[in-house]
Amino acid sequence: MANKKVAAMTTADWSAVATLANAGMQATDNNFRIGMDPNGTNDLSGAFYHPFSLLGLGAQFTFVSERLVQEFDANDARLAANFYLLTSPNLRNDRGFNFGTRYGAVPIESGGKFATSDNQGFMEVGATYEETRLDIAEANIRTGAVETGLAIIDQVRAYQGAKVAATAGTGLTQAAAIAILKRERRVALFQRGTAFYDARRWGVTQSAASGGGRAAANVLIQGSTLGTTASQIRSCFIDYNFMDYFDIPLNELDFNAPAPGAAP
């Protein structure tokens, strides 16, 4: 599923996805998780990289995307529980306006789930119950069983304590249900390593000329660029135009030449 574009998926493919996911993680299963010691060394690689600390106010290496916040319903309890408005916007025009944000992540030490400045928390690694349920939901929606898929989305939202109105039974079209499914995967699976692979298989990372990109995307633009005194949110079309696969060995050799006598 991660390595095949939705446009190429057949009914048989979706049936296989549903079969595998139904045999996958259950709500009562224990997930594989990684944490970190008091010094910030993570449990997996023995290095200091851990997504929760990188998103924390101490490191500020990664940031809460405006597009992520945009996916939440306004009354979704997960939004208020895990994200908050910064006292002043974090403008990141040095690396691209898309990194700028008005939001921070509530640290785990204050009741949040996705960030820490005190080396706390355990991140889900590998498949999770919510991911397998949303896989099944997508398989149903894309093969015409829209109401069945929406009911599963509602189940995942209830499981995570979203406290939002049900989507099933509201007469949504398949296209509308797919839009909700995409939003829910971004929200429910935040910090679980699925976002890029979802965007790639949905075709979002393709060039706009090939049908990719994202319309009506919230982007924080600094006031000096707009000729205003304050930064503003603008609704933009983002043409990602990413490669499907990153040529890591070639890229590393391009930017980090081997030392004399070292093997290339």
23 part of a folded domain = yes
Please report, for the domain that includes residue 106, its CATH number: 1.25.40.900
Instruction: Provide the 3-class DSSP secondary structure of residue 17.
Output: helix
Q: Which residues have CB under 8 Å from 145's CB, separation 6+?
A: none
φ, ψ for residue 2 (rounded to 5)? -70, -25
220 part of a folded domain = no
Q: Which residues have CB under 8 Å from 210's CB, separation 6+?
A: 203
Angle between helices 129-142 and 11-22 (to 10 degrees): 150
The pLDDT score that the predictor gives to residue 264 is 58
Three-state SS sequence of 32-50: EEECECCCCCECCCCCCCC
pTM here is 0.89
180 part of a folded domain = yes
Domain of residue 135 covers 6-207
231 part of a folded domain = no
172 part of a folded domain = yes
263 part of a folded domain = no
The pLDDT score that the predictor gives to residue 250 is 61
95 pLDDT band, cuts 50/70/90, is: confident
Nearest CA to 90 out of 217, 187, 222 is that of 222
User: Does the pLDDT at position 263 exceed 70?
Assistant: no
236 part of a folded domain = no
Number of domains in the chain: 1
φ, ψ for residue 162 (rounded to 5)? -70, -35
pLDDT tens digits along 105-148: 999 999 999 999 899 999 998 899 999 999 999 999 999 999 99
- CA angle, 246 as apex, 36 and 116 as ends, to 5°? 20
The stretch 194-200 carries a mean pLDDT of 95
Q: How far apart are CA 138 and CA 158, in angstroms?
A: 17
Q: Helices (H) and strands (E) in the chain — how many of each?
A: 10, 6
154 part of a folded domain = yes
The pLDDT score that the predictor gives to residue 251 is 63
The CB density around residue 108, as the number of other CB atoms within 10 Å, is 21
Mean pLDDT, the chain, rounded, equals 92
